[in-house]
Structure 1
């Protein structure tokens, strides 16, 4: 999983690539606690390659260690990535505005 640095208000996507037989189930954790989906803001879903976690309208409180944990009954594997949300540059006035 990649580390991501982005700014306030942006959208981040974390991709977890896993496979196995039987196919694994995937859980997402943030700082060792389960990620809770929020309508229209935080969502995760299964993909052909594993799972994707999407966080929209990022806030600095979204910064943390994200872990993807895959289990298929035979074994459990995990990977961790860091999401860092920083303050962006202040908005600039567009030409011609007053």
Structure 2
């Protein structure tokens, strides 16, 4: 019933055609057109709405000692539900190797690293993909002997990971 969608974004023209602008998930469904003179004549159209995935990774940054475990969570929404993939420094994680230190939990929404080493320092990216598009978010892991607690203002820092180490940039000093 179009009365339920009483919005400026929905118009029915004199010829009976329906025009929708600013499509949202609430517009998804079946739209049936009935002939005015013969109600037995009708035509139904199905509107499927796809959304770009939304991704939020937590924590944004964490510091761990060698040998410890680290976990990262990827909160994803989208229509249809996106495929979740993890990358490290822009390279897909090698998940199918025997004795692998990576474990995916909950359809890939949690990444767990076991027995971490200095080489595990890096930018871990959660990438969500569906027909609406691709979206990414990053969680940074720093492996060091004396991990520092993560303060809220550290989430604003920018980290550049190199073969020779990590560069940390403060937003106020850029």
Count how many residue pairs are aligned between Structure 1 and Structure 2.
87
Cα RMSD after superposing both structures: 1.8
- Given that 1:68 and 1:80 are in contact with CA atoms closer than 8 Å, whether structure 2 keeps it comes out as yes
What residue in structure 2 maps to residue 43 of structure 1?
103
Using the alignment, how far apart are the partners of 2:137 and 2:92 within structure 1? 14
Query: Aligned-pair distance for 1:69?
Result: 0.4
TM-score w.r.t. structure 1 length?
0.79
Query: Aligned-pair distance for 1:40?
Result: 5.4
Residue in structure 2 matching 1:62, options 107, 120, 126: 120
Larger Rg belongs to: 2
User: Can you give the 5+ residue segments of structure 2 that lack an aligned partner in the other structure?
Assistant: 1-56, 148-174
Query: Which structure is higher in RCO with an 8 Å CA cutoff and minimum separation 6?
Result: 1
Which one has a larger percent helix, Structure 1 or Structure 2?
2
Using the alignment, how far apart are the partners of 2:87 and 2:139 within structure 1? 11
Residue in structure 1 matching 2:132, options 55, 74, 91: 74
User: Can you give the 5+ residue segments of structure 1 that lack an aligned partner in the other structure?
Assistant: 90-98
Q: Residues 32 and 40 from structure 1, CA distance in 2 versus in 1: closer, same or farther, beyond 3 angstroms?
A: closer
What residue in structure 1 maps to residue 63 of structure 2?
5
